[in-house]
Homo-oligomer: A and B are copies of this chain.
Amino acid sequence: MTAVTPHSVSAARTLVEPVLREAVGRLDALSARVAAYHLGWADAAGRSTGNGGKALRPALAVLSARAAGAAGERCLPVAAAVELVHAFSLLHDDVMDGDPTRRHRPAAWTVFGDSAAILAGDALVTLAGELVLEEDTPARVRAARCLVSATQRLIAGQGRDLEFERRADVTLEECRRMSADKTAALLSCACSIGAIAAGAPEPLVTALAAFGAETGLAFQLVDDLLGIWGRPEATGKPVLSDLRSRKKTLPVVAALTSGTPAGDTLAGLLARPEPLPESVLSMAARLVDEAGGRAWAETEAKHRLDAAERHLAEADMPAEVRAELLEIAHFITSRDH
């Protein structure tokens, strides 16, 4: 089945996109062009291509403001800022990973060159700071700190992700921490930054952040599964690309550390110095499954989603906001988002 984009996500995109476009319009011409392409608003020649991506993170930020009783409109700059940090990280990750494809299109660095992609990423992360700090209220400063600290974790997680490609002895705990930093930290920030900007009480902020962190881990687990068994037409990435670059994703590390014969065979394959042909990659995928990595990741994703739901249940917020947050969590951890 194909999951349907929740209404709250499309509604948030309608609210946030004008703020994003205005902000990107302040950048120098080159970075604005790269950003418009990367965000899906323009083609390589700068011609308008309509709306951008799903804007999941802004939707979570808007809902987190509403959870605190504020109007979603009040937190649009912080919602846009989270999306800008996400866009920055993808721009730089694609350069570092050498990934030629992003969301079914050539990655920005393949179109504009490495330097332009690096610069545009720099410009977007800086723009995020500008947006959040437009108001100098104490709540805004706390929101800025939340975003900066999530950005720092995201960078650290990407660093370890790259390092793990060259290491054979990554533990499941290291891998989990890497995913918590690389993916879950910014989602946790998205789920709490609207509430922070709205001056919400600490217990609500903490519950929302925990909901986001658990949802983020579930999302990463599903993303890792899709990176091996997803259909390229759905993921927008070449088949088996994570295994090709020897990424130590969660299901792969679960398999490698399973103590099973399949796990040991997998370790032997991934230790080969030469590029791995398609046939070996398919065999590697089967070994991850056989060693229990696939089943473990599926179960673990479910556990994380359950934990996210519990955090949400404990938090004091309007019932319809809780339902909408939960709908997004299920949406982004569905197999065909």
Q: Are B125 and A125 in contact (CB under 8 A)?
A: yes
Q: Are A141 and B133 in contact (CB under 8 A)?
A: yes
Q: Are A126 and B141 in contact (CB under 8 A)?
A: no
Q: Are B138 and A126 in contact (CB under 8 A)?
A: no
Q: Are A130 and B118 in contact (CB under 8 A)?
A: no
In the complex, A134→B312 CA distance in Å?
Answer: 29
Q: Which residues 147-162 of A have a CB within 8 angstroms of B?
A: 148-149, 151-152, 155-156, 158-160, 162
In the complex, A299→B48 CA distance in Å?
Answer: 47
Q: Are B158 and A129 in contact (CB under 8 A)?
A: no
Would you call A237 an interface residue if the criterion is a C-beta within 8 Å of the partner chain's C-beta atoms?
Answer: no
- CB neighbours (8 Å) of A140 from chain B are 141
Cβ-closest chain B residue relative to A181 = B28
In the complex, A149→B143 CA distance in Å?
Answer: 18
In the complex, A140→B148 CA distance in Å?
Answer: 15
Would you call A313 an interface residue if the criterion is a C-beta within 8 Å of the partner chain's C-beta atoms?
Answer: no
Task: Give the residue of B119, B149, B156, B163 whose beta carbon is less than 8 angstroms from that of A155.
Answer: B119
- Report which residue of A129, A138, A149, A162 has the largest number of chain B beta carbons within 10 angstroms of its beta carbon: A129
In the complex, A247→B44 CA distance in Å?
Answer: 26
Q: Are B31 and A155 in contact (CB under 8 A)?
A: yes
In the complex, A162→B127 CA distance in Å?
Answer: 21
Q: Oligomeric state, in number of copies?
A: 2
Would you call A317 an interface residue if the criterion is a C-beta within 8 Å of the partner chain's C-beta atoms?
Answer: no
- CB neighbours (8 Å) of A162 from chain B are 115-116, 119
Q: Given that A133-B145, A136-B141, A159-B28 are known contacts, is A115 also in contact with B96, CB under 8 Å in the complex?
A: yes
Would you call A300 an interface residue if the criterion is a C-beta within 8 Å of the partner chain's C-beta atoms?
Answer: no
- CB neighbours (8 Å) of A156 from chain B are 27-28, 31, 123
Would you call A95 an interface residue if the criterion is a C-beta within 8 Å of the partner chain's C-beta atoms?
Answer: yes
Q: Are A151 and B126 in contact (CB under 8 A)?
A: yes
Task: Give the residue of B30, B31, B129, B155 whose beta carbon is less than 8 angstroms from that of A144.
Answer: B129
Would you call A142 an interface residue if the criterion is a C-beta within 8 Å of the partner chain's C-beta atoms?
Answer: yes
- Report which residue of A149, A155, A160 has the largest number of chain B beta carbons within 10 angstroms of its beta carbon: A155
- CB neighbours (8 Å) of A123 from chain B are 152, 155-156, 159
Across the A-B interface, the 5 shortest Cβ-Cβ residue pairs: A28-B156, A136-B141, A96-B115, A129-B148, A30-B159
